[in-house]
Structure 1
Amino acid sequence: MNMALLDLLDLLYWRTVTLLCDSVSQYPGPNTFFITSCANLRAQQTLRRAKLYLHNIDFDSKFVQDFGPFLSQAKGQSRIIILITHPKIIHKIMMTAHRLRLTDGDYVFLGATTGSAIPAKLSLTWPWEFNEDKNETALEAFRHLIMYNNVDPDWKKIPNWLEEIPAAARAHFSTNFSEDQKYNELVISAYEMMLATGQVLRETMGNVELSGRSFAAHFWNRTFEFPSRKFTMGPYGMRVVDVLFSRPNLSARYLEEVWRYDAATRLLNASAVLGAVWPSSTGRAPPDRPACGYNGELCDTPSGVLPVDSRSMVGIAIAIGFFVLWTVYLVRNRYGKYDADNPWWSINAEDLVFFNMMFKLQVASSLQMCLLLNENVNCA
């Protein structure tokens, strides 16, 4: 799943990212997925160090009630924030982000999950439906969230599995599965791994010279065909799976698939128009950092000095101001010295020559000021 995420970051030119990793100790089963995902993503980042800068924030949501400090820290690091935590915690984080004005279109959140875990016969559960605040505030907050997960098994093709696995858990481990827990992508993945192991054991039966490494090599670069889906193993035993990226469709109010990552070809394909339309002022994917930095440090000169354009305008404004004041002064001097042939507003040739000379002097002065303040700027 992390390879798909990294390819999405490359596609959108997101190089600076903040990673929020939750150990989720209150969920001792699923937390293995989240801990492993964080570790694997950091390992991949080490290999891509030249392409990806990762800010890491670790926490345990079992002991955290206020996610504001983490988000405030992330706000000054990157505009792309990855959330590896339980969907219930994602809901809380997104509502806090909305309160901190992080859902105005400048920031994007990516939430990892093991899968929808909900088959077609059940309504798709939005993350906020764990609580009762299904209102416009929640909708606004989740506009800027991208959920990504492995492609789910084909639930319709494995109804017997959905009964046999809970029966075995009940008989051998005294564990009861609820109706929703039957549709658990992690459980199906573990069962698929057991089936693959059984198939390799049958193939290697009787091979007395088989070492541990040579046994493992029977899994590498291989695809197993199961009723649930294709089960592909990459080099050195890493599972290779297709990944879905989904965003909220606000009008229909469900999570819509917008990109699909093909693990075999390593291509990220757009699945819906929603993937090209962003809820931002520009309608495009936001950059991973502001053009001038988070504190303007990439554009501004030292503190207390005006930006280049503003300083140039100040010089021109001073020149025009002196010109206007001098005009008023001359007119006031002429006041009372006019007749029908020489009205007070008339300006003779000598005045025009003088005005032209003064204007050129003031413009030259303003240009000199511009050059003094801006060594490397064309002030012409």
Structure 2
Amino acid sequence: MRCLSSSRVFLCSTLLSLAVGSAVDVNMLVILPKENSYLFSITRVRPAIDYAIQNLVQSPFNFSVKYVDSECGNMALFHLVDICLVQKPDVIVGPVCDYASAPVARLASYWKIPMVSAGALASGFAHKKPEYSHLTRVSPAYSKMGEMFLAMFRRYRWKRVALVFEDDLQERNCYFTVGGVDHAFKQDDIPIYSTVISEDMDEVEIGHKVEELKENVRIVIMCASSQNIRKVMLEAHRQGMTKGDYVFFNIELFNSSTFGNGSWKQGDAFDSVAKQAYRSLQTVTLLRTAKQKFYKFAADMKNRSRQQLNYKDDNVNMFVEGFHDAVLLYTKALQEVLNQGYSKTDGERIVHQMWNTTFEGIAGQVSIDANGDRYGDYSVIGMTDPEAGTHEVIADYYGMNGSFEVRPSVRRLWASGVPPSDESCCGFPKDHASTCKSCGIGESAVTGIVVGSLLGCALLLAFYLFRKKYRITIERRVQLLEADTECPGKMNTLQSSGFGLSCFNLKTT
């Protein structure tokens, strides 16, 4: 039975429900880690999935949800195979970790099972055919953040950058994040200087890293823990890089304070210095729309975590939001496909129904592009009150139209009041091809002014002496002419004798 009018969704749903029974059974397999150190653990995400299912309005679906432990590795694939030997799920939700998501996405695509995830954020998953053809991503991929940085660089005409990141060699979140940024910058052939930092680096090692940055770039993008970000900024301040001629961007992953609150204030002896250093630091994070239903959702997540699961976590991160919206997106697509007269087993139709669409998520509008990836909306946060050390949103990026917009109410956008140049006055020490640019009073300019002033003074002195000598010569010639007129005979005699006497003296002798 097919219903073509979208305005009769409820009627079609009702007729369909009557045709097949009281409800349409949907088997959902959720593949996430049990380990609570992950921001997307089953303990954290399960309340959001339950909330989404319970709040579906007039839904003809009866969800049966099964949770399995991905362990952020190969166990995700093993569990999927074991379950599919008995009965294939109608939809797979998760995994998140890239190394767990890749084999699951391949198998889901082979079996034509829709897979919806708030993870699988690495750039490689954007190549949907043939391996990831049934994967839909409801959280912005790392490459979407790269598009945001590219829009910013085009706005300020920056042409070179440094990428500083941690690499734990396990989940490698920062590695894949800067990989997405690198992928975007390749569109404009922007030269990239990359360096890796780690938690166990001391001040001397961090100092060497910062010195290398100083010798290569003016624009720095960082992905690291809040502790390492602070170390870098303190060292940058010591090396005179926080006066406005350099700018540092910190990528805050996942909108989570668990990852690090990023504050300059840590209650130690370096707080005052850190506050000064953070004037040159801006943080990039996901844009979040403040809506009443989101606050209600966040409060409910906290209560469920405490009461049902005995887990105390006051944070609602992007994974919790994303998996809630994953349920909404799949339900919306399934409803539309069934209304067209097809089956819940038509995985390919359901997948493409989820692509190139927009719907209202729990934290705002969610738009999925034609490739099955969510557009990324981001905010840039900067220190707008250097005295108090307070931060606020200074700019926003909207992925659907690719626009980077500075908020009109911002009082202070850059540490020096103007966007920094991405070039040194006379190039960088390691860049011998660079040529000098006029970008302020540097050492070369001061030297030129001093030398020019000395040359000017010398010329003035030479002109003065020449003029004085010339005047004396003229006066003497005039005197000689006058003397020759009054006493020509005597003058000739005296001149021939070599005495310098005047006619006046001759008359008085």
TM-score in terms of structure 2 length? 0.53
Contact 2:301/2:316 (<8 A) preserved:
no
Q: Pick from 183, 187, 193: which aligns with 2:316?
A: 183
Q: How far has the Cα of 1:178 moved from its partner?
A: 3.7
Whole-angstrom distance in 1 between the partners of 2:413 and 2:317: 32
Give the counterpart letter for 2:399 in structure 1. Answer: A
Q: Does 1:90 align with 2:225?
A: no
Q: In the superposition, relative to structure 1, how do residues 315 and 83 fare at CA in structure 2: closer, same or farther (>3 Å)?
A: same
Q: How far has the Cα of 1:267 moved from its partner?
A: 1.6
Q: Pick from 405, 410, 414: which aligns with 1:278?
A: 414
Q: Pick from 34, 53, 57: which aligns with 2:195?
A: 57
Q: In the superposition, relative to structure 1, how do residues 312 and 126 fare at CA in structure 2: closer, same or farther (>3 Å)?
A: closer
Give the counterpart letter for 1:228 in structure 2. Answer: A
Q: Does 1:291 align with 2:431?
A: no
Name 2:216's counterpart in structure 1: 77
Contact 2:265/2:274 (<8 A) preserved:
no
Contact 1:2/1:41 (<8 A) preserved:
yes
Name 2:148's counterpart in structure 1: 4
Whole-angstrom distance in 2 between the partners of 1:153 and 1:273: 18
Contact 2:334/2:344 (<8 A) preserved:
no
Q: Does 1:265 align with 2:401?
A: yes
Q: How far has the Cα of 1:232 moved from its partner?
A: 1.6
Name 1:244's counterpart in structure 2: 379
Whole-angstrom distance in 2 between the partners of 1:236 and 1:219: 10
Q: How far has the Cα of 1:287 moved from its partner?
A: 0.4
Contact 2:357/2:367 (<8 A) preserved:
yes
Q: Pick from 290, 296, 317: which aligns with 1:157?
A: 296
Q: Does 1:15 align with 2:159?
A: yes
Whole-angstrom distance in 2 between the partners of 1:166 and 1:239: 31
Whole-angstrom distance in 2 between the partners of 1:249 and 1:276: 5
Q: Pick from 176, 185, 207: which aligns with 1:36?
A: 176
1:291-347 per-position Cα deviation (integer Å, ceiling 9, x unaligned): 3213596239xxxxx98888777766665565567789x69xxxxxxxxxxxxxx82
Whole-angstrom distance in 2 between the partners of 1:324 and 1:111: 61
Q: Secondary structure at the match of 1:236?
A: coil
Q: Who wins on radius of gyration, i.e. which is larger? A: 2
Give the counterpart letter for 2:184 in structure 1. Answer: Q
Q: Secondary structure at the match of 2:359?
A: strand
Whole-angstrom distance in 2 between the partners of 1:307 and 1:43: 42
Q: How far has the Cα of 1:284 moved from its partner?
A: 1.0
Q: In the superposition, relative to structure 1, how do residues 313 and 114 fare at CA in structure 2: closer, same or farther (>3 Å)?
A: same
How many residue pairs get aligned? The number is 313
Whole-angstrom distance in 2 between the partners of 1:104 and 1:284: 11
1:197-226 per-position Cα deviation (integer Å, ceiling 9, x unaligned): 3443454465488465x5543332211322
Q: Pick from 314, 339, 355: which aligns with 1:220?
A: 355
Q: In the superposition, relative to structure 1, how do residues 93 and 2 fare at CA in structure 2: closer, same or farther (>3 Å)?
A: same
User: Unaligned stretches of 5+ in structure 1?
Assistant: 119-123, 171-175, 301-305, 332-345, 354-380
Contact 2:426/2:436 (<8 A) preserved:
yes
1:258-311 per-position Cα deviation (integer Å, ceiling 9, x unaligned): 11112222222221443664322xx211101123213596239xxxxx988887
Q: How far has the Cα of 1:87 moved from its partner?
A: 2.6
Give the counterpart letter for 2:243 in structure 1. Answer: D
Whole-angstrom distance in 2 between the partners of 1:258 and 1:153: 15
Q: Secondary structure at the match of 1:239?
A: coil
Give the counterpart letter for 1:54 in structure 2. Answer: I
TM-score in terms of structure 1 length? 0.68
1:185-206 per-position Cα deviation (integer Å, ceiling 9, x unaligned): 2332244234423443454465
Query: How do 1:135-174 and structure 2 match up within 5 A?
Result: 135-152=271-288, 154=290, 155-158=294-297, 159-164=299-304, 170=309
Q: Secondary structure at the match of 1:6?
A: helix
Whole-angstrom distance in 1 between the partners of 2:390 and 2:324: 29
Q: Secondary structure at the match of 2:182?
A: helix
Give the counterpart letter for 1:290 in structure 2. Answer: S
Q: Secondary structure at the match of 1:40?
A: helix
Contact 2:324/2:362 (<8 A) preserved:
no
Q: How far has the Cα of 1:6 moved from its partner?
A: 1.4
Whole-angstrom distance in 1 between the partners of 2:184 and 2:375: 15
Q: In the superposition, relative to structure 1, how do residues 3 and 12 fare at CA in structure 2: closer, same or farther (>3 Å)?
A: same
Whole-angstrom distance in 2 between the partners of 1:79 and 1:161: 42
Contact 1:116/1:152 (<8 A) preserved:
no
Whole-angstrom distance in 2 between the partners of 1:46 and 1:186: 28
Larger displacement relative to structure 2 (186-195 or 103-112): 186-195
Q: Secondary structure at the match of 1:347?
A: helix
